[in-house]
Amino acid sequence: MGFVYIAFILLQSLSGTRDWSVQATVSWILSEYFGRKNISIVAEEDVQTLSTPDSRSLLSAVVKTVNECLAEAPKYGLQSPARELGTSEILEAISRCNSTGGPTGRHWVLDPVDGTLGFVRGDQYAVALALIENGEVILGVLGCPNYPLKKECFHYHYKVSTPKLLLQPCSDTLEKGCVIYAKKSCNGAWMQPLVHGDKKLEWPNSASLIQVSSIDDPAHAIFCEPVEKRNSNHSFTAGLAHSVGLRKQPLRVYSMVKYAAIARGDAEIFMKFARTGYREKIWDHAAGVIIVEAAGGVVTDAGGRPLDFSKGVYLEGLDRGIIVCSGPILHEKIIGAVYASWDSSNL
């Protein structure tokens, strides 16, 4: 399960240079293990910003962070570089992430920091890595540094309005942070708590099987949606929630942690309906989809069709929106509500 260790290494590189550091780190690791000529990586960032004269200090910080991260690799069963990587090598590692994917071959899909605002605000964010083979997601890893290990802490965070209260019952840093992963050829999805400091990694003894919630009554179901309104219509999801009998207020969560919440049974529904013109990218969903499905959940577009990861960088042909549910009963209710209310929406 070497991809689990890759996720740990990614998380180590988030000291302040964010996306580029993670992208360079994972690119170097994958290239070393599988050979540069055998690797196709689809990722969000390019080297243009780092290559300008005004970005010298930022580039220097990225180089420093990546080398510090890779120096820790042996702790997690991975090999460090024989020497520190230079600036050109770091830029080359980032620039290798230039694939556009497609229907044939193997393509790694990376979102180095999914939920940038969540990261900046000390809220939820994720490092997401997936492997697509001939258009099908076969492996997914979500590293979630701020995800509470206790379900009640996750719900507590998003139900209170006074910031001071957040520090009281669920502030212990040892009780948050995990890596969640799934592989198509293996049964189930798994969660591995993050390692803190020099604490010895106990693998696989500290990994546990996770599964979706068994709740299928909308009155008791919890649903998630994105925080930002620019790529999600909150009023439409509110209307759907009302029509199917969802009584609880939505949990507005940054990043693919929403997929993690469904897979682990912390919530039952995730709905996203983007406004006209917005195009969903494969790195925002690939890892989450396979994890939810492996945990027993259902993921489709709003027309009930599986998401298509074979068309390149974007989820082309997406029917209206994305529906993620813990089971088929809730899923069918929401799909029915979409068909019943779509013509009257402004999307």
Per annotation, catalytic residue among 116, 123, 308, 319 = 116
**241-258: average pLDDT:** 94
* Binding region: 44, 111, 114, 284
Does the structure show a pLDDT above 80 at 347? no
- Would you place residue 167 in the very low, low, confident or very high pLDDT band (cuts 50, 70, 90)? very low
pLDDT at res. 5: 59
Strand pairing class (298-301; 208-210): unpaired
Does the structure show a pLDDT above 50 at 75? yes
Does the structure show a pLDDT above 80 at 245? yes
Does the structure show a pLDDT above 90 at 131? yes
Cβ proximity of 69 and 96 under 8 Å: no
- Separation between Cα atoms, residue 64 and residue 20, nearest integer Å: 12
Least confident range of 155-169, 244-258, 274-288: 155-169
Cβ proximity of 262 and 287 under 8 Å: no
**Residue 54: active-site member:** no
Per annotation, catalytic residue among 19, 25, 65, 301 = 19
- Would you place residue 15 in the very low, low, confident or very high pLDDT band (cuts 50, 70, 90)? low
Q: Which of 294, 304, 327, 297 is nearest to 215 (CA)?
A: 327
pLDDT at res. 149: 85
| Max intra-chain CA distance, the chain | 62
Domain spanning 218-344, CATH class: alpha beta
pLDDT at res. 329: 97
Strand pairing class (106-114; 41-43): parallel
Residues in the chain: 347
pLDDT at res. 321: 94
Radius of gyration for the chain, computed over Cα atoms and rounded to the nearest angstrom: 20
Tell me what percent of the residues of the chain surpass a pLDDT of 70. 85
* Binding region for Mg(2+): 44, 111, 114, 284
**Residue 19: active-site member:** yes
- Separation between Cα atoms, residue 325 and residue 338, nearest integer Å: 14
- Separation between Cα atoms, residue 344 and residue 114, nearest integer Å: 32
Tell me what percent of the residues of the chain surpass a pLDDT of 90. 62
Least confident range of 61-65, 127-131, 193-197: 193-197
Does the structure show a pLDDT above 70 at 163? no
The rounded mean pLDDT for the chain is 86
3-state SS, one letter per residue, for the chain: CHHHHHHHHHHHCCCCCHHHHHHHHHHHHHHHHHCHHHCCEEECCCCCCCCCHHHHHHHHHHHHHHHHHHHCHHHHCCCCCCCCCCHHHHHHHHHCCECCCCCCCEEEEEEEEECHHHHHCCCCCEEEEEEEECCEEEEEEEEEEEEECCHHHHHHHHHCCCHHHHHCCCCCHHHEEEEEEEECCCCCEEEEECCCCCCCCCCCCCCEEECCCCCCCHHHCCEEECCCCCCCCHHHHHHHHHHHCCCCCCEECCCCHHHHHHHHCCCCEEEECCCCCCCCEHHHCHHHHHHHHHCCCEEEECCCCCCCCCCCCECCCCCCCEEEECCHHHHHHHHHHHHHHHHHCCC
pLDDT at res. 154: 78
Least confident range of 157-171, 187-201, 284-298: 157-171
- Separation between Cα atoms, residue 319 and residue 307, nearest integer Å: 9
187-222 pLDDT, tens digit each: 899 998 876 545 555 555 578 999 999 999 999 999
76-89 pLDDT, tens digit each: 778 899 999 999 99
Least confident range of 5-19, 130-144, 250-264: 5-19
pLDDT at res. 129: 96
pLDDT at res. 151: 79
Q: Tokens 């925080």 appear where? A: 227
Does the structure show a pLDDT above 70 at 285? yes
- Separation between Cα atoms, residue 282 and residue 85, nearest integer Å: 30
Does the structure show a pLDDT above 90 at 50? no
Amino acid letter, residue 65: T
Least confident range of 41-45, 152-156, 182-186: 152-156
pLDDT at res. 161: 39
Does the structure show a pLDDT above 80 at 13? no
Domain boundaries defined on the chain = 1-99, 218-344
